[in-house]
Amino acid sequence: KKNEALIYIYNTTIQQAFIITKNNSDLISNISLSRDDTLGAINLNRKAMANEFDPKFNHNVNAIFFKIFFKEIYKKIKDKNKLIFIADKYYSNFPFEMMITNFPHVTLENLDKFDHNKEPRYLVQDYEISYLPNIETFVEISSSDEINLNKNSKFLGIGDPILKLQSKKEKKSTDVKF
């Protein structure tokens, strides 16, 4: 739609992002960002989110991540209000919505300097954000052997069930078969 942008971001040896909108497509490459840079920044971000650091440091990490990894992409999507992300395996569990867009002063050298008076503005405050699985996911699923699940398998299921109250007569156990 006119208000949407699809962003496919990946890092094979350098960071690249395809930005696809209704009337345009762009490729942004950043040759200065290697896979190791990406992994290092993502690991730092994970540690910051896990509260291993001061919360203000977490803000600065999210701001520097925006500035280094996303600033050029941001210029292409300013007029949109819905972002759809497809990310490679390096970015696949990175929460893009956590990036802070209003701390332009943050650099790698001053990550430990905090602006205590400024409220962070997260990407999710300006955009509706959703995710789609990456191509690698489909390749792995289609090339993998059948997965055997048993009572010891770990499973996380998320749904939006419609629940209704049952009488004691109606209650019965249901076995799930794989």
Q: Which residues of the chain have pLDDT under 50?
A: none
137 to 143, 151, 155: CA distances (angstroms): 10, 25, 17
Q: What percent of the chain has pLDDT over 90?
A: 24
Residues 6+ apart with CB under 8 A from 107: 64, 67
pTM for the whole structure = 0.69
The pLDDT score that the predictor gives to residue 83 is: 96
Q: pLDDT tens for residues 127-170?
A: 999 999 887 776 776 666 666 767 787 777 777 777 676 666 65
Closest among 99, 133, 129 to 4, alpha carbons compared = 129
The alpha carbon of 88 is separated from its chain's Cα centroid by a whole number of angstroms, namely 10
The pLDDT score that the predictor gives to residue 7 is: 94
Across all residues in the chain, what is the average pLDDT? Answer: 80
Closest among 137, 133, 173, 176 to 153, alpha carbons compared = 176
The pLDDT score that the predictor gives to residue 44 is: 75
The pLDDT score that the predictor gives to residue 56 is: 73
